[in-house]
Chain A
């Protein structure tokens, strides 16, 4: 179960004056079970990239392999692919249409050929896993709050039992509490179902503590593809792309510059706290003190 992109290029309105190269020669390997973050400025090509993964967009050139098979081969069943690679778009308003929540979540599984009863089983399971309360199943999706709509939208895709779940800006338009709730829920899903999760965002803070791999998009290119720690080490370059490393990264680098021997790779507040505390302890030990003052005298 893997997706592989080979030299994928995508151009909007080729051959006209409106031509835009949205993706430039992208090579990616997405193995099973990873928790991946895709980050980039608005217009960096991240949305275009994820729409390639479930064959909503055909690349201008290059190939996309799912389990080693070319998804744009003539006889390839792209409908089946889309139920394996689930994509949740940014705005839940774009997909909610039924008169009640449960029927809306059933839409996906029923398109896969399940009966209403079978679909309801999947729908209930999915709604429960995204933390949606059962007493609201009969409500109209349009009277829900933003966070609730988002949960229903995610459940709508999750109910199809995808092997890979892609979420485009799942936290956009949510308050901090709602944002953390959704992200925790997604992390929980990753553990629970063991599926691959690709999280798209433009906020480093959001995804830093969840993902194990971070792909940074800039002007249609995948500039970095590494662990969050390794990517944040390039915080100055990130800033140049209109992105920012988590605030903690800045603090840690500043502390290091001022002579506190902290681990500047810490990405979460908890890690940073641990690192600062141990650094302070170390500094107050007599051994370290001598070392530092000695160094200053030499300078």
Chain B
């Protein structure tokens, strides 16, 4: 029944990064993000760039997919850059009316732009090489200690994977309902805001009914298979660290050490 789902932005490929344990990749992303904020000089960013480029090469994901995520933050990026440039006090480089561009402002703007860009690309590498289900599995295992303070980690991660699983199904359903109503003369495009909201009723009612029905069916199917929550539950494919992961942690530790060293030495 289900076709190939392209959820999130997972890009299937056969690379070392795809094979890594999701926990390793989560840790790696954290380390990279920390490093981006630790580095604050040109040589530092060069090291980060090198690391990032190496990861992209290893992931075997086409580079254009890496930059896709940037589209979403173009606006934020522009605003950050412009505000940093004109609002930072310091040595004036260029002046237009009350707007002053300072040397310190330009430096800060460039730094922020690099950090934001690297942040997005860094997390893209993780989401492109990890399926959403692997990711929630990894989160569940990594957050397991929180069980001790009564955080329902398993339930949260189960809800997350079910929600993720249902997104493409509901999208497809929305498309079908829209078509069925358009065939009956419904109009989802024209009209003012109130009319538009009213026009959504023929779409939302069947969609909600179908979502509830699906939720009901799923709950029934899970209970029929004796699902009872996280206690003593084992996994079909338990996460296990392999040699790759140990190597990856080694590389990450070295990379983090370099970042800290750069910061301490002030390079």
A interface residues (Cβ-Cβ under 8 A, vs B)? 18, 51, 54, 56, 79, 82-83, 86-89, 91, 93-97, 107-108, 111-112, 142, 156-157, 160
Contact = CB atoms under 8 A, between A and B. Distances in A.
Contact of A142 (B177, B183, B187, B209): B209
Contacts of A54: 183
Given A107-B202, A111-B185, A142-B209, A94 B180 contact: yes
Nearest to A83: B185
10 interchain residue pairs of minimum CB distance = A111-B185, A97-B205, A95-B180, A108-B184, A87-B183, A94-B180, A89-B180, A94-B177, A97-B202, A56-B179
B4 interface: yes
B195 to A, nearest CB: 13
A112 B209 contact: no
B216 interface: no
Instruction: Choose among B4, B173, B176, B180 the residue with the greatest number of A CB atoms under 10 Å from its CB.
Output: B180
B42 to A, nearest CB: 38
Contact of B184 (A18, A107, A142): A107
A130 to B, nearest CB: 15
Interface string B34-56: 00000000000000000000000
B209 A157 contact: no
B217 to A, nearest CB: 13
B183 to A, nearest CB: 4
Contacts, number: 58
A79 B185 contact: yes
A111 B180 CA distance: 13
B183 A56 contact: yes
B206 A97 contact: yes
**Contact-size category for B:** 20 to 34
B6 interface: yes
B177 A82 contact: no
B210 interface: yes
A54 B183 CA distance: 8
A107 B205 CA distance: 14
Interface of B: 4, 6, 173, 176-177, 179-187, 201-202, 205-206, 209-210
12 contacts: A51-B179, A56-B179, A56-B183, A79-B185, A82-B185, A83-B185, A89-B183, A95-B206, A97-B206, A107-B184, A107-B202, A108-B185
Contacts of B183: 54, 56, 82, 86-89, 157
Contacts of A88: 183
Given A108-B184, A157-B183, 9 more contacts: A56-B182, A82-B185, A89-B176, A89-B183, A94-B173, A94-B176, A108-B185, A111-B186, A156-B184
Contact of B187 (A86, A91, A111): A111
Contact of A89 (B179, B185, B187): B179
Contacts of B180: 89, 94-95
Contact of B181 (A79, A83, A91, A95): A95
Contact of B177 (A95, A156, A157, A160): A95
A237 B254 CA distance: 65
B206 A96 contact: yes
Given A51-B179, A56-B179, A107-B202, A93 B185 contact: no
B2 to A, nearest CB: 13
A79 B176 CA distance: 17
A82 B180 CA distance: 11
A112 B209 CA distance: 26
A123 B205 CA distance: 21
Instruction: Choose among B173, B206, B209 the residue with the greatest number of A CB atoms under 10 Å from its CB.
Output: B206
A87 B185 CA distance: 11
Contacts of B179: 51, 56, 89
A54 B184 CA distance: 11
Contacts of B185: 79, 82-83, 107-108, 111-112, 160
